[in-house]
Amino acid sequence: MSTHSSFQNLRFWVYVVISLVLLAIGAVFFRFFTQGGNVSPPNLNFNTVQVGLEERGREGVFDATKVVEKVGPAVAQINTRTELVLYDYFRRPYLSESEGLGSGVVIEENGYILTNNHVVAGATTIEVTLPGREPVEARLVGADPQTDLAVIKISDSDLPVAELGDSTKLKVGESVVAIGNPFGFDNTVTTGVISALGRSLAVGQNVWLEGLIQTDASINPGNSGGPLLNAEGQVIGINTAIIEQAQGIGFSIPIHMAVEVVRDLVKYGKVLRLGVYAETLTRETASRIERAVGLEIPVTTGVIVLGVKEGSPAARAGLRAGDVIFEFNGKKVESRDQLLKITSELDYRDPIQITAFRGRRRLRLTTRLE
C-alpha cells in the first residue's frame, strides 16, 4: 500500500472520530438547555401522579345523589282543589272547581310543611303526599302573600325533616339542587348553580319580592314551594317563580328570610308588620322629594314613608306618606332593612314608639304590633 493511500485512510478515520465527538457534545448541550440544566432525567412516579389527580377530581365532584338521598323523603307533593260559587248571565249559581299542584318541604317532624302562598291560596282542600306514604289532608296554618310563603300542617308525626342552611353566606357559582313535582312528575331532581343574588321580582298584583336567589336549575310549574338545596343537602331557598318563555332563569326565596316569616305564621297565623311602604332616606332621595313636592326634610338619614297600609299599626299610629322615621323604640333607624329587623324582633302586642319628622315638625307616635 502506498504512503499516499495510508494517509488518506488515516484522515478518513480522524474525520469520523471528530464527527462522533461533536455529535456527542451537541447532544449534551441540547439536553442541558431544553431540560433547565438537568442532564439526568427526573425520577417521576407516574402512578403517584395519576392517583393524586384522581383524588383531587373526586374532591371537586358535586354528588347530587347524596343530596337527593338526604332530602328527597322530606319533599312533599301538594295537590289542591278550589271550589267557587259563580253566577251565570241569569244570576243562577253554579259550582266551579279547579285543581292546583305544587311542592313543599317538611320543616318540623310533627307535620309543619313550608310552601308558597300561591300554591295554597284560596284552596278548599289541600292534600299532601310524601315519598312512600299515602296522601293525607293538610290544614292551612298561615299564609303571607307579601312574601309568597305559607305553612301547612298534616297530622302525621315522626316525619323526615329537611335541614335548613344559611342563605346569608351564599356565593354566585355554587352548585345547587332543586327537588319538586313539575307538571305532576313527582320527585323530579334538577341541578344548576346560583346565577345571582339579591334579585327583585314582581310576582303578582302589589307583590314585589326582594333579595331573591337566581338559579339556572330547571324550575317549572309544580316546583313552586319546593326546596333549593346546597351541596350539603341543606335548604337554602324556596323555589317560587320563573321568567316565562326563558330558559334557566328561576328564583328562590332565601331561607333566612323565610324562617322569620315561618316563625310568625306558626305562632300567630300571620306575619306581624308595621304596615308601611318605605324606602331608605339618602341625601339624593331627600333632595328629589324636596324638589318634587316642596317638602322640606330636616334629616338626611332614616326611613321615608311612601305609603301606609289601611288598618295597620302604622295607620293607627297616625303615620302618613312623606313622614321620615329616624327612631324606633329608642333605636336610631338609618335604613329600611334596619327598620324591618327591629320590627321582626318584636312579639304580638308589643308597644311601639316612633319618632319621626313631618316636614320640620317632630312627632312622637305610639302603637302596638299586630
- Residues marked as catalytic: 118, 148, 224
Q: What are phi and psi of 19, to 5 degrees?
A: -60, -45
Grid cell in block for residue 290: 324636596
Contacts of 337 (CB under 8 A, 6+ apart): 280
Instruction: Report d(CA 71, CA 233) in Å as an integer.
Output: 6
Instruction: Report d(CA 340, CA 331) in Å as an integer.
Output: 13
Beta bridge partners of 269: none
Instruction: Report d(CA 354, CA 27) in Å as an integer.
Output: 89
Of the candidates 66, 228, 73, 255, the one whose C-alpha atom is nearest the C-alpha of residue 164 is 255
Give per-residue burial for 83-103: e unless 16+ CB within 10 Å, then b: eeeeeeeeeeeeeeeeebbbb
Of the candidates 116, 149, 111, 117, the one whose C-alpha atom is nearest the C-alpha of residue 130 is 111
Answer whether 108's CB lies under 8 Å from 79's CB: no
Give per-residue burial for 138-156: e unless 16+ CB within 10 Å, then b: bebbbbbbebbbbbbbbeb
Grid cell in block for residue 214: 337566581
CA dihedral 117, 120, 123, 129 (to 10 degrees): -170
Instruction: Report d(CA 197, CA 220) in Å as an integer.
Output: 20
Of the candidates 133, 125, 129, the one whose C-alpha atom is nearest the C-alpha of residue 100 is 125
Gyration radius of the chain's alpha carbons: 35
Grid cell in block for residue 224: 313552586
